[in-house]
Amino acid sequence: MAEAAAFAALWVPFCRKHDIEPRNPESYFGLRRDPTKNKRRQDFVRDRRRVKREYDEFKVRVNGLPDAIRRRSDAFNAREEMKQMRRMKEAAAAGDQDVMIEVVKVKKATWMADGTHWPGTWAVTALEHGKGDHASILQVMLKPAMAEAMYGRESGEQLGIDFTEVDVRLPMLVYVSREKRPGYDHNKKAGAMNALVRASAVMSNGPFILNLDCDHYIYNAVAIREAMCFLIDHGGEDICFIQFPQRFEGIDPNDRYANNNTVFFDGNMRALDGLQGPMYVGTGCIFRRFALYGFDPPPAASNSTPSHHPHFVVAETDSFRPQSFYDDELNPSFLPKRFGNSSALVESIPIAELQGRPLADYQSSLYCRPPGLLRIPRPPLSTSSISEAVAVISCWFEDKTEWGDRVGWIYGSVTEDVVTGYRMHNRGWRSVYCITAGRDAFRGSAPINLTDRLHQVLRWATGSVEIFFSRNNALLASNRLYFLQRVAYLNVGLYPFTSVFLLVYCFLPALSLFSGHFIVETLSVSFLVYLLVISITLTLLAILEVRWSGVGLEEWWRNEQFWLISGTSAHLAAVMQGMLKVVAGIEISFTLTAKSAVDEEDDAFADLYMVKWTSLMIPPITIMMVNIIAIAVGFARTIYSSRPDWSKLLGGGFFSFWVLIHLYPFAKGLMGRRGKTPTIVFVWSGLIAITISLLWVAISPPQGSEAAASMGGFQFT
């Protein structure tokens, strides 16, 4: 982060000067297009060449940091040990036993280049100095910028880049690592986000918060400004967050495992935007800070009385005294019980509510509008504010508070993002789905390997099952949640249970072929008409959704295929795992082991062809083998039958083939790049085939002429 902050002093002014997009240097320099397109300044080529050279050197330094830090730490640790040995020898020579007793062995530590300890790296773990056992760490990498624009050539002076007309200010950059101690439940991502909310409230108290995963970055610099248009415009006082769609890089062109989730992000989420708003999906989201504090939204302007409408009263001292709907809830005597014993944190909450109001609230007030609330200069950082920020990220701070229960990110679920968004909607807040025109707002990476993708879906489905069996079930929602929004959240908790019906759907054609009876007893005209109407209706609905959302047919089909793959594997496992946890209190995990890798290291999609075995693959393999064997059994029965009924074979075979087509991406994933199926797949396939054959013989043993026919016409006596 220190290296990145130093490079940003050059990169950010360069982006502002030449209007660079995207502002991720790796993505920008990797674009395959003419970089001079639409660039009018004559010095662009020279500046770009010099910044590119500096970026290449920056990457070399960053990639060499692990080895450099290790060598530096070894040298400093060896120097400290030599000092201790010298002191002990001097004490021994002087016969001073007290000094020898006081001299203790220096603990090995990680050292910075300036010769100081860095407590946030645990190359050599020790007591109270390890990944899960350390004090709070807060390091200010870049100090807060000045309120006024600062022009100059400081950042590019050594490289000869002219920044005289460019604002060279950089935002404050702070590294935060919350305290962790053995025996404390740190609540993973949700706990880390709540710690960041508290630390930022004390240090900067920005009214809006951008949440990105570590594998996402900003791809459109205007995206945050577009979100501001919703949050501070008229009618935006009850908007809790702005959710952007997730867009990914590094996915294979065919998107074999539907990693883009196009149907969800371009169909479902856009549809929810017409209700109470889209769900929070954990990244690419801008929050109103005050909404994260667990308060109810203000009443709608059309339904509120003048006394409830937020406004400002001008006192004789020309200061502004805020009056709002939250005056009772913002009573300082009540806030510590909810937010913890930090005066700085408690004092920041009314200010966050004040700064986060839409501009229309001030324009329509009875008195006057305070000038530039969002641009009020913040006081410089002090030792006391940093010490307070360190205190609010301690592991004990949340004890006997409402953090994780009503305030901030909600604890107790694997999918804390969905639960957090649900709680906000349940209190009456609404959200907005923002799709930026032209360039995507954010870009990220996704697991393109079959096993990794299945485990990702398993985690989501497990969280959904937890939601269904918790008080966050939409059936228990308040009347502030819209009816259709309630149905949408109810679907979040119910969809893993559709795996039971998918299993029946996949095995029913095979049972039809094994038994020799069609799925239905008679193909009457009324049944065929009913089936035709249902099929046409579903087809028209699919076409309507595809046309409305703009999803391509290939993307829609990939989504259908992976829905069956994940439904018969990850969703089924999540239901079993959730039921065992709820009923018996037993927790199980599905492990994976790498079985084969790819030789080509330069292939961008090498991970796509890597085969890792996991127990989640057993149900889809079973479905494939059962249907293949069923087709073979049905074909053999029809050929050797005295009166072959080809219609039953075609009917059952068509539905079995339909199931196998859905599982085609799964089969390709098992075969890897060159079609080499792992040995474990053959072992499981053989066991399944033998089990099915023995089970079928035990259930319906051939007798008499049937046995003779099955043996090719030979009969033994």
Q: Residues within the annotated binding site?
A: 188-189, 213
- Residue 491's φ and ψ, nearest 5 degrees, are -65, -35
| Euclidean distance between CA atoms 352 and 208, whole angstroms | 9
Show the CA angle centred on residue 541, arms to residues 540 and 545, nearest 5°. 115
Amino acid type, 355: Q
Q: Which two tokens stand for residue 158?
A: 């050594």
Question: Do 297 and 291 form a contact (C-beta atoms < 8 A)?
Answer: yes
CA dist 600 → 606, 608, 660 (Å): 7, 12, 30
Q: Which residues are annotated as a binding site for UDP-alpha-D-glucose?
A: 188
- How far apart are alpha carbons 570 and 468 in whole angstroms? 17
Annotated binding site for Mn(2+): 189, 213
**Using CA atoms in the order 297, 300, 306, 310, what is the torsion angle rounded to 10 degrees?**
40
Residues 6+ apart with CB under 8 A from 116: none
Determine the 3-state secondary structure of 242 from DSSP.
strand
Show the tokens assigned to 601. 């290291």
Give the span between the Cα atoms of 712 and 375, in whole angstroms: 89
In 3D, which of 58, 48, 43 has the Cα closest to residue 20?
48
Contact at 8 Å (CB) between 323 and 310?
yes
Give the H or E element holding residue 695: helix 679-699
Angle at 216 between CA 120 and CA 443, to 5 degrees: 165
Residue 392: both structure tokens together: 């609010």
Residue whose token pair is 């307070």: 388
Q: In 3-state terms, what secondary structure has residue 199?
A: helix
Task: Please return the burial class of 441, using the count of CB atoms within 10 Å of its CB with bins 0-12, 13-18 and 19+.
Answer: buried
Residue (of 674, 576, 668, 577) closest to 624 by Cα position: 668
Instruction: Tell me how far apart the 2 most distant CA atoms of the chain are, in Å.
Output: 117
Residue 522's contacts (CB-CB under 8 Å, 6 or more residues apart) are none
Strand, coil or helix: 217: strand
- SS3 percent helix, strand, coil of the chain, rounded to 5, is 50, 10, 40
CA 243 to chain centre: 12
Phi then psi dihedrals of residue 702, to 5 deg:
-70, 140
d(CA 405, CA 338): 10
Q: Which residues, at least 6 apart from 673, have a Cβ–Cβ distance to it below 8 Å?
A: 598, 609
440 backbone dihedrals φ, ψ, rounded to 5°? -60, 150
Residue type, 70: R
Nearest to 170 by CA among 141, 191, 199: 141
